[in-house]
Amino acid sequence: MKYDNDTTTARHADQVLQFLQYGRDNAIVGRDLRAKTGLPDRVLRKTLEGIRRGGQVVISGDTGYFIPATLEELQGYIKQEEHRARSTFFTLQSARQLAEKMQAQGEQLRMEGSGM
Please tell me the predicted confidence (pLDDT) of residue 33.
98
- Residue 112 in any domain: the answer is no
User: Are 33 and 87 within one domain?
Assistant: no
**pLDDT single digits (tens) 33-51:** 999 999 999 999 999 999 9
Exposure string over 23-36, b if 16+ CB within 10 A, otherwise e: ebeebbeeeebbee
User: Are 48 and 26 within one domain?
Assistant: yes
Could you give the CA distance from residue 20 to residue 60 in angstroms, rounded to a whole number? 11
The CA-atom distances, in angstroms, between 70 and each of 13, 25, 38, 42, 74 are: 23, 11, 29, 29, 6
User: Are 9 and 61 within one domain?
Assistant: yes
| pLDDT band, very low/low/confident/very high, at 10 (cuts 50, 70, 90) | confident
- Residue 110 in any domain: the answer is no
DSSP 23: S
User: Are 55 and 94 within one domain?
Assistant: no
Please tell me the predicted confidence (pLDDT) of residue 105.
80
Give me the helices (H) in 27-92, please. 30-37, 41-53, 71-91
User: Are 18 and 1 within one domain?
Assistant: yes
**Which amino acid appears at position 114 of this protein?**
S
User: Are 40 and 4 within one domain?
Assistant: yes
User: Are 47 and 100 within one domain?
Assistant: no
The pTM (predicted TM-score) of the whole model is 0.74
Please tell me the predicted confidence (pLDDT) of residue 116.
44
Count of the separate structural domains present in the chain: 2
User: Are 5 and 55 within one domain?
Assistant: yes
User: Are 8 and 61 within one domain?
Assistant: yes
| pLDDT band, very low/low/confident/very high, at 104 (cuts 50, 70, 90) | confident
The CA-atom distances, in angstroms, between 66 and each of 16, 30, 54, 58, 85 are: 11, 11, 16, 6, 21
User: Are 46 and 63 within one domain?
Assistant: yes
Please tell me the predicted confidence (pLDDT) of residue 114.
45
Q: Which domain holds residue 3?
A: 1-69
Mean pLDDT over all residues of the chain? 87
- Residue 114 in any domain: the answer is no
